[in-house]
Amino acid sequence: MPALNDLSVGQEIGSTTIDISRADLVRYAGASGDFNPIHWNDRFAEQVGLPGVIAHGMFTMGAAVQLVTDWADNPAAVVDYQTRFTKPVVVENLDTGGATLEVTGVIGAIDEANSSVRVDLTVTAAGQKVLVKAQAVVRAW
Amino acid sequence: MSEQIGVNPQLAGRVYPAGEAYTVGREKIREFARAVKATHPAHFEVEAAKDLGYPDLIAPPTFAIIVAQRADAQLVEDPEAGIDFSRVVHADQRFVHHRPIVAGDQLVAELHVDQVRAMGGGAMITTRAEISTADGEKTATATSSILVRGEGQ
């Protein structure tokens, strides 16, 4: 992460693309312990009124923050991270790339007193914002 | 309160005590990091974490969800709460880290029900898991809102 006084509000920290397959959702279910069938069972997902199997909101939140972790080059620097989940990410039943997340990070605020910056993430899938108010506070040491 | 809501409006203010400690394992950190496609070496190599000043592998920023959702389960499974889990949608999530979670931590979580609001025929429930080590060192605060959809929502 660059020095605090080399940063300015509105500056982009980078962007990334994350492909999601059904296998990724199964892996996240196992790793997190969240086995809700809406994340792996089409029949169940449709029964509860979803367009199909959707990604765990926590998968999307967890994957999107890597842009910030890599920029900070220290996972411990992310001291506060929040988001609202607004649109489901539908993951098609394909061998690869059932959905794609586009993630962009911009400096939203600089707090010199606390030596930290707020990175605002824009996360979209199929052209729609799927996370809103996705903000990570990064501490500079 | 109409019967349609289902969710008990008296839940607000309730506190569910910390249960058994969750031991953070190195392999669990590696497994979770792979699952969120995290690649930073401090999730995988102890030496990389030590270079950053930590005693063992550093968990990804959302790892605390494992401990928080175990605490949430006490509420969701409480028959007095009236929550139909098949109608639950995750609305928002926040993690405030007082210090990073590292492999070897023994974590406990006390669950606070901060707010219950009627939303259409359903309810929005905001909970806060205060995560600390078994020795009482504050580690993370995980705040979460879930929407329990009513009929036709």
Q: Please judge whether A76 and B54 are an interchain contact, meaning their C-beta atoms are less than 8 angstroms apart.
A: yes
* Domain locations along chain A: 4-139
The per-residue pLDDT for B3 is 46
Diameter over CA atoms, chain B: 58
pLDDT over threshold 70, residue A1:
yes
Q: Please judge whether A63 and B36 are an interchain contact, meaning their C-beta atoms are less than 8 angstroms apart.
A: yes
Q: Please judge whether A75 and B60 are an interchain contact, meaning their C-beta atoms are less than 8 angstroms apart.
A: yes
Six token digits for residue A39: 């994340």
Do A86 and A131 form a contact (C-beta atoms < 8 A)? yes
Write out residues in chain B with pLDDT < 50, as ranges. Answer: 1-5
Do B115 and B126 form a contact (C-beta atoms < 8 A)? yes
- Mutate which: B31, B36, B138, B139, vs A, most A CBs within 10 A: B36
DSSP assigned state of A15: E
Mind giving me the DSSP string for chain B?
Answer: --GGG-S-GGGTT-EEPP-SPEE--HHHHHHHHHHTT---GGGT-HHHHHHTT-SSPBPPTTTTHHHHHHHHHHHHT-TTT---GGGEEEEEEEEEESS--BTT-EEEEEEEEEEEEEETTEEEEEEEEEEEETTS-EEEEEEEEEEE--TT-
Six token digits for residue B113: 């029900």
pTM: 0.95
Mind giving me the DSSP string for A84-104?
Answer: EE-S--B--S-SS-SEEEEEE
The per-residue pLDDT for B153 is 66
A129 contact B CB<8A:
no
* Domain locations along chain B: 3-24+59-148
Q: How far apart are the first and last CA of chain A?
A: 10
A25 versus B87: the higher-pLDDT residue is: A25
The per-residue pLDDT for B1 is 43
A33 contact B CB<8A:
yes
- Mutate which: B28, B30, B37, vs A, most A CBs within 10 A: B37
pLDDT over threshold 50, residue A42:
yes
* Closest Cα in chain B to A80: B96
A chain contacts of residue B95, beta-carbon cutoff 8 Å: 80-82
- Rounded to a whole number of angstroms, the distance from the CA of B87 to the nearest CA of chain A is 8
**What is the tens place of the pLDDT at every residue in A62-93?**
999 999 999 999 999 999 999 999 999 999 99
Here the ipTM equals 0.96
Cα distances (angstroms) measured from residue A65 to each of A79, A100, A120: 12, 15, 10
Six token digits for residue B60: 């990804």
B101 contact A CB<8A:
no
CATH label, A4-139, candidates 1.10.3720.10, 3.10.129.10, 3.40.1260.10, 3.30.390.50: 3.10.129.10
Do B13 and B113 form a contact (C-beta atoms < 8 A)? yes
A61 contact B CB<8A:
yes
A27 contact B CB<8A:
yes
The per-residue pLDDT for B152 is 67
The second-level CATH assignment, the architecture, of B3-24+59-148 is Roll (3.10)
The per-residue pLDDT for A97 is 76
- Rounded to a whole number of angstroms, the distance from the CA of B42 to the nearest CA of chain A is 7
- Determine how many CB atoms are found less than 10 A away from the CB of residue B136: 7
pLDDT band per the 50, 70, 90 thresholds, residue A135 = very high
B151 versus A3: the higher-pLDDT residue is: A3
A101 contact B CB<8A:
no
Residue in B77, B73, B64 with CA at minimum distance from that of residue B143: B64
